[in-house]
Structure 1
Amino acid sequence: MPFIDSKVSVKTTPEQRKELKERLGQAIALIPGKSESWLMIDLADDQNMFFRGEGEAPTAFIAVNIYGDPNPAAFEKMTAELTKIYGEVLGIAPDHMYIKYAASHDWGWNGNNF
């Protein structure tokens, strides 16, 4: 039950959104027990974002939410991969991204909670 909530300041093309979806689907497997088959993604683009008081440079905020226990070692690998993906696909510099992780045992799906 992973969810990646992605907000970026740049306008994306359909091709870029497709590439992000595909690469995020592969990257989620860096977290043990997670796969694209359960992954939900929100790709919000063209957001009014300011970082360090500036709003000109491409910026991203990415939140990765998972069901289960936190895995700091996997999150470290995921940060490196997300930084690479957003840099290559959208041209966002690593120092203009925040990546947040949250793990929860309170997760609902299909009318029930796990």
Structure 2
Amino acid sequence: MPYIDVTTNISLDKEEIDALKADLGDAISLIPGKSESWLMINIRDSAALFFQGSGDKAAMFDVSIFGSADGGAYDELTKRICAISADKLGVPADRIYVKYSEYTHWGWNGMNF
């Protein structure tokens, strides 16, 4: 049950959103036991997002998962997200943050896991 919330100050068209979604869908499998089949993604473009006092291209990736993962998996996913950000958004790795949150309670379909 992963969820990725992407916020960027870049305006994206439908094709760019679809490409970003597809790449993140592939990347989530770097966390053991996670797959695109359970992945929910929210992409917010054209945000009033500033980093280091600048409105230059920037992005925030907030990754939430049910359960936990080891640091190595997060390291690999961060590398992949940085590459995706550079490729799909034109945002360099030093202009993004990637944040991870782990949850023990996650609801779906009227129940909790």
Once the two structures are TM-superposed, the CA of residue 71 in structure 1 deviates from its matched residue by: 2.0
Contact 1:21–1:41 (8 Å) recurs in 2: yes
SS of equivalent to 1:43: strand
How far apart are the structure 1 equivalents of 2:58 and 2:80?
16
How far apart are the structure 2 equivalents of 1:59 and 1:82?
13
Q: Which amino acid aligns with 1:79?
A: T
With the length of structure 1 as denominator, give the TM-score of the two structures.
Answer: 0.97
How far apart are the structure 1 equivalents of 2:37 and 2:23?
13
How far apart are the structure 2 equivalents of 1:101 and 1:71?
11
Segments of 5+ residues of structure 1 without an aligned counterpart are: none
Runs of 4+ in 1 over 4 A off after TM superposition: none
Number of residues of Structure 1 aligned to a counterpart in Structure 2: 113
1:45 match: 45
2:23 match: 23
Contact 2:32–2:69 (8 Å) recurs in 1: no
SS of equivalent to 2:33: coil
With the length of structure 2 as denominator, give the TM-score of the two structures.
Answer: 0.97
Identity of aligned residues (%): 42
1:63-91 Cα shifts (integer Å, max 9, x gaps): 00000023211000000000000110110
Segments of 5+ residues of structure 2 without an aligned counterpart are: none
1:19-75 Cα shifts (integer Å, max 9, x gaps): 0111111000000000000000000000001111111x1000100000002321100
How far apart are the structure 1 equivalents of 2:47 and 2:74?
25
Q: Which amino acid aligns with 1:98?
A: Y
1:99 match: 98
Q: CA RMSD in A?
A: 0.7
